[in-house]
Structure 1
Amino acid sequence: MPVSVVVGGQFGSEGKGKVALEIVRRNFGPTTVVRVGGPNSGHTAYDKAGRRWALRQMPAACVDRNVDVVFPPGSYLDVDVLLEEISALDYPTDRIIVSPWAQVVTDAHRRWEQEAGLVSSIGSTGSGTGAAVMAAIARDAPTFPLKTLHAEHHGLLAPFVRCGDTGELLADRLGSGQRIVVEGSQGFGLSLLDGGYWPKATSRSTTAAAALAEAGLAPRWVDDVTMVLRSYPIRVAGVSGPLPKETTWEEVARRADLALDIREYTTVTGKLRRVGEFDALLVRRALAANAPNNLVLNHLDYVGPAGGIGDPNSVVSQFIRRVEAAIGRRIDWYGFSALDIMAGREQATS
């Protein structure tokens, strides 16, 4: 069955949005994109006109405005952010479908995270997503201060709540041959259950299996799990958690002989990201948890130019070989820019 799941193999910001968009563009039939997670992470992609979009609610895979977008029960919606992005994209509202059971992030959720000190203690974005997760788990317990608000009870979402069960809707589309692309968020190292860095973690599991559960899709429908990596993993600034072999943006630029400023800032908070060396141990654990059939390595422009792929002795080719040897797995696709990806050696020659 035609379901693609896109997940991150490090600490997020691996370029999942660009890859999900590429999967949509390579699919010649009708496509539906499912966005799981909440507004606590940003996905970036460039539309066909070359305009850059950094989105927190709408999936990056929708920027060409040619797919249906589904927010399933396992999505967490900041309504103001969602409506702003729909307006900015000028997205056809009849192509957006929200589950009545999707969770709404409220002012109370955001306020609780701020007052709980999560922003300063674990580097949380303070978006309220984690508090919304807690409220859902508490199930309106009288002793718990946070309550859940479902999409069906938020008036501004009424135009998008047009079906009773988005899982059944997606199953019907699969039956008619449509491809479903599930755009996961964040990365394996941030996963609440299995990332290994608790409590410096996000509020959800971030594996392919978890994304499917949030989307309301059965595992047997999946024919593609694509895991996305970056040459130098990042974490957000401050006390966000360990980053093995942490280095500096200046050192990364020096190695690649880059004169430009390559420092990165987070989409949600605008803080300078921390950067580290490629961590094979983390990636091997992510491979075991996700079993991807496609592996993408982005940000190779931080290593060397794309032209080096044709030279086995180039710094880029040597870096890729070291990565493949360390993780015990070939790289299927390479990314040298924010705009596209290119086939790896085996893909190009097969």
Structure 2
Amino acid sequence: MPISIVVGGQFGSEGKGKVALELARRAKEPVTVVRVGGPNSGHTGYDYRGKKWALRQMPASCVDRNVDVVFPAGSYIDVEVFLKEIEVLRYPKERLVISPYARIITEQHKAWEREAGLVGSIGSTGSGVGGAVMASVARGAQNLGMTSPDAAHYEPLAPFVRDASEHLRRKLDVGERVIVEGTQGFGLSLLDGGYWPKATSRATTAAAALAETGLSPLDVDDVTMVIRSYPIRVAGESGPLLGETTWKSIGAEIDDDSDLTEYTTVTNKIRRVGKFDPELVRKALIANSPTNLVLNHLDYVGNQETLTRSDSRLSQFITYVEGNIGRSIDWYGFSPLGIVDASLNEHRNAFL
């Protein structure tokens, strides 16, 4: 009864979508992917033909269009975004399942976030997820003034609404793999990220993602945590970022004249970027206890060809990371297209 959970260990945009897609491709059994959370962050993946997909509602792990996609009770759906994405993906509609208890994001929720000042004060994307969470938790409280429609009573989603928990249980009972694609990162977690109120509206750990699926912890056999060489935060007043620097400075360190500037998927604003923060990652490791750890964006540190040289900037950075987080890296990421098994690096340190 195998479940893989993919989570971020920093502030999001670590490359979780790419990793979840890689897990789906490597699986020996049929795969179902689960998208928890909402469309307040983008997930990017490249399909088999090399086409880039930057998705907000659909999971990046579905871009090959060969897996079932489930939105469980703990998901928040922007119907317009969802319908547009399945149209451009040309996704087989019979492979889409939405829990009747999934919550719908309305214009009312988006307006509440704007009027509450969250976009400016905490760097919120204004996608309405926070408002939808508030409305759901309020349970119809008259002094909040927001409704919380569910998928079961939202006509445009009627063709997709089924018992998601039962669907997932059937898959697990016959040995199929379920991949839960988490959102954002540990440093943004509402409960334990350590940066409240500069946080998102949900908990972002593996345990929290699993709770949103309605499945049992006894089903999980893999937790994959993804981190990046230079962590980012979204633009604006989004919270502290250790050793904040510029994209130009990062490029200069590796003599790269190309523009490394990253933009947020949802708001298309320049991401803030900082130095690697071992303390944040150590806390994320405690909360998630991953079976696999992925270090992405290593091309921002050095060329993959220098990985076999113990004196290279790249190898020294990996040694620094492993020594300061007390954990070996299992997979390296040098591009948006995949990951490399760390066992290929002959100069591993004592944490192996």
- Map of 2:129 onto structure 1: 129
CA distance in 2, matches of 1:94, 1:306: 41
Are positions 1:229 and 2:208 aligned together? Answer: no
Structure 2 residue runs without a partner (length 5+): none
Structure 1 counterpart of 2:309, which letter?
D
> Do the aligned partners of 1:34 and 1:181 also contact (CA within 8 Å) in 2?
yes
- Map of 1:78 onto structure 2: 78
CA distance in 2, matches of 1:156, 1:232: 41
CA distance in 2, matches of 1:142, 1:40: 26
- Map of 2:90 onto structure 1: 90
Q: CA deviation at 1:28?
A: 2.2
- Map of 2:100 onto structure 1: 100
> Do the aligned partners of 2:308 and 2:345 also contact (CA within 8 Å) in 1?
no
Alpha-carbon displacement from aligned partner over 1:142-197 (angstroms, at most 9, x marks no partner): 22211101011111101101x2x312221121011100000000000000000000
Deviates more, 1:246-255 or 1:277-286: 246-255
Are positions 1:322 and 2:320 aligned together? Answer: yes
CA distance in 2, matches of 1:78, 1:279: 34
CA distance in 1, matches of 2:304, 2:100: 46
- Map of 2:302 onto structure 1: 304
Equivalent residues in 2 for 1:247-326, closer than 5 Å: 247-326=245-324
Residue aligned with 2:22, SS: helix
- Map of 1:47 onto structure 2: 47
Residue aligned with 2:58, SS: coil
Structure 1 counterpart of 2:30, which letter?
P
Equivalent residues in 2 for 1:328-339, closer than 5 Å: 328-339=326-337
Structure 1 counterpart of 2:254, which letter?
A
Residue aligned with 2:335, SS: coil
Structure 1 residue runs without a partner (length 5+): none
Residue aligned with 1:335, SS: strand
CA distance in 1, matches of 2:345, 2:55: 30
- Map of 2:177 onto structure 1: 179
Q: CA deviation at 1:347?
A: 8.6
CA distance in 2, matches of 1:59, 1:120: 27
CA distance in 1, matches of 2:254, 2:48: 29
Equivalent residues in 2 for 1:33-44, closer than 5 Å: 33-44=33-44
CA distance in 2, matches of 1:223, 1:334: 21
Residue aligned with 1:110, SS: helix
Which ranges of 4 or more aligned residues in structure 1 deviate by more than 6 Å?
A: 346-350
Equivalent residues in 2 for 1:64-213, closer than 5 Å: 64-161=64-161, 163=162, 165-213=163-211
CA distance in 2, matches of 1:250, 1:345: 32
CA distance in 2, matches of 1:336, 1:32: 27
Alpha-carbon displacement from aligned partner over 1:63-85 (angstroms, at most 9, x marks no partner): 00000000000000000000010
> Do the aligned partners of 1:136 and 1:148 also contact (CA within 8 Å) in 2?
yes
Structure 1 counterpart of 2:43, which letter?
H
- Map of 1:10 onto structure 2: 10
Q: CA deviation at 1:217?
A: 1.2
Superposed CA RMSD: 1.2
Residue aligned with 2:121, SS: helix
- Map of 2:19 onto structure 1: 19
Q: How many residues align?
A: 348
Structure 2 counterpart of 1:33, which letter?
V
Residue aligned with 1:325, SS: helix
CA distance in 2, matches of 1:122, 1:174: 39
Residue aligned with 1:267, SS: coil
The TM-score normalised by the length of structure 1 is 0.98
Identity fraction in percent: 64
- Map of 1:60 onto structure 2: 60
CA distance in 2, matches of 1:64, 1:302: 27
Alpha-carbon displacement from aligned partner over 1:4-42 (angstroms, at most 9, x marks no partner): 000000000000000000000001221100000101000
CA distance in 2, matches of 1:339, 1:346: 18
CA distance in 1, matches of 2:260, 2:26: 29
> Do the aligned partners of 2:5 and 2:206 also contact (CA within 8 Å) in 1?
yes
CA distance in 1, matches of 2:61, 2:28: 14
Residue aligned with 1:336, SS: strand
Q: CA deviation at 1:244?
A: 1.1
Residue aligned with 1:13, SS: coil
CA distance in 1, matches of 2:345, 2:135: 46
Q: CA deviation at 1:312?
A: 1.2
Structure 1 counterpart of 2:27, which letter?
N
CA distance in 2, matches of 1:122, 1:342: 35
